[in-house]
Amino acid sequence: MTDKPSVLFVCVHNAGRSQMAAAWLRHLAGDSVEVRSAGSAPADRINPTAVEAMREVGIDITDQTPARLTWDTAEASDVIVTMGCGDACPVFPGKRYEDWKLTDPAGQPLDVVRQVRDDIKTHVTGLLATLKP
């Protein structure tokens, strides 16, 4: 791992789980960690319910845009956290991988998305404790 570790969060649409995880890590780690997120089949916009759930905890993700997962992005990351991207997630020797089992917030009511948001914060806090910036 480099002096400034990089973490890539990946889900299918890069519109909910991976965006919330990236936002939590940016919020909790500041600029001590390089944060990336991507999707195997990115949506055209961030999930508005995820935006609302994050807004409730004071984190604005309205400036984020879903991005396609690229080989280069994955290869340049120290830690790759997958959240249901399936076989589309590339595997690189020597990378640290985590697979977080989280409910997909797509089409879910705000109460469910709040729980996903809180579960993600717990995971991100644990991940951050293991990184050595």
Catalytic residues: 11, 85, 89
**Contact at 8 Å (CB) between 28 and 59?**
no
Q: How far is Cα 91 from Cα 39, in angstroms, rounded to an integer?
A: 15
- The DSSP letter of residue 122 is H
Q: Which residue has the tokens 């993600």?
A: 120
Ramachandran category for residue 89: left, alpha or beta (phi over 0 → left; psi -120 to 50 → alpha): beta
The residues, any chain, with a CB within 8 Å of residue 48's CB and separated by 6 or more, are none
